[in-house]
Structure 1
Amino acid sequence: MTGRVVVIGVGNPFRRDDGVGPAVVEALRRRVPDGTVLAVSDGEPSRMLDLWHGADTVVVVEAVRTHPARPGRLHTLSVAEAAAHATRPASTHALGLGECLALGEILDRLPRELVVHAVETSDIELGTGLSDPVRSALPELIDRVAASVRKAHGRDR
């Protein structure tokens, strides 16, 4: 085990709420222990697998669509829970985390621990800036991700 912790903010800041993953990564730059890898990804499965290669713990931050939608509602999922939800499209990307998890399992490239922090979106149209519900949820989302990182490093406080 490497003890390597990777946080991946999935999304596109030019698609409004889809930019929440990159926004969380930026906010974490001074809030996580040294040695934590902070990365942004478009969610393409092979790039995701490359980012988390060799990591013991991966924390993914993602925008999701749900029906019925409750924009701003937060979700925290284990890898098993994320895989169970992968059968229905939820990601705001063409290929979602479900495909990435399936590929990782086939290739035996899943990290020892993977946590997904997601927020339900309101607007993923072209443009910049988060919608009011997602912007309001952002501080709590950042806190949850930071807590997952501290836990992975053995620093639960």
Structure 2
Amino acid sequence: MSTPGRTVVVGFGGVCRGDDAAGIEVVRLLRGTLPPQVALVENRGDAAELIESWSGADLAVVVDAVRSGAPPGTVHRCHALAPGAGRHLGSHGLGLRDAVELARALGRLPRRLLIVGIEGADFTLGAAMTPAVRRAAGALADELAERFTRPAPKAEGPAEGRSP
């Protein structure tokens, strides 16, 4: 379980089904690049494990492969705390969407939940990730690394010798 105030990035998907590995690939690319308060989790499609991984988190970012008809490698973002949000995200029959609704019913959603879908093309068992999806996963990993390693802005205080 995540510690309150922490961030968790979850790669959701199957590593043996081509582009379905996009979320797992993002997490693997992030290993060793993020501060310790950002947990990285690889999830092979287990909804209960997903709920456990984000419970108590301040922010959960879940990355999954999607099929919406957009060009392969397209990145979709959805803030998923509104009921019904993310309805079309995810390539799993029982998985991400169901985990969000179950966590809502159990009161186990993170404070903020961002679902990021990478549009896939080939979900065939044994296939390799397609080049467009691999590029999108790399770009997303770079974006997340930048976001979570950027120093917090300094609070501006009164100038020396002047009263507030």
Where on the TM-score scale, by shorter chain, does this alignment land: which range?
0.7 to 0.9
RMSD (Å), alpha carbons: 2.2
**In 1, Cα distance between the equivalents of 2:136 and 2:99?**
26
Q: Unaligned 5+ residue runs, structure 1?
A: none
1:69-117 Cα offsets, whole Å, 9 max, x none, are 311101121114794231x4x4221213211111011000000011112
**Secondary structure of the residue that 1:84 maps to in structure 2?**
coil
TM, length-normalised to structure 2: 0.81
Q: Which residue of 2 aligns with 1:122?
A: 121
Contact 2:5 2:56 (C-alpha < 8 Å) held by counterparts:
no
Matched, 1:71 2:72: yes
Give matches, 1:80-119, under 5 Å: 80=81, 83-86=84-87, 88=88, 90-119=89-118
Match of 2:51 in 1: 49
Letter in 2 for 1:75: H
Q: Given residue 119 of structure 2, which amino acid in structure 1 is its aligned partner? A: E
* Identity percentage of aligned residues: 35
Shift of 1:148: 4.8
Q: TM-score, normalised by structure 1?
A: 0.84
Corresponding residue SS for 2:85:
helix
> Which of the two has greater helix per residue?
1
Going from structure 1 to structure 2, the CA distance change for 1:148 and 1:107 (only over 3 Å counts) comes to farther
| 1:12-60 residue CA offsets vs partner (Å, 9 max, x unmatched) | 1100101111111111012211232111112322111111122111110
In structure 1, C-alpha distance between the alignment counterparts of 2:81 and 2:114, rounded to whole Å: 9
Q: Is the 8 A contact 1:13 1:128 kept in 2?
A: no
Report if aligned partners of 1:16, 1:124 keep a CA contact under 8 Å in 2. Answer: yes
Using the alignment, how far apart are the partners of 1:28 and 1:148 within structure 2?
12
- For residues 138 and 20 of structure 2, the distance between their equivalents in structure 1, rounded to whole angstroms, comes to 16
> Matches of 2:108 and 2:134 in 1, distance apart?
33
Report the Cα distance in structure 1 between the residues aligned to 2:139 and 2:119, rounded to whole angstroms: 13
Give the corresponding residue for 1:140. Answer: 139
For residue 11 of structure 1, report the CA deviation from its aligned partner: 0.7
Q: Which has the larger radius of gyration?
A: 2
Residue-pair matches, total: 151
- Structure 1's consecutive aligned runs of 4 or more residues displaced over 4 angstroms after TM superposition are none
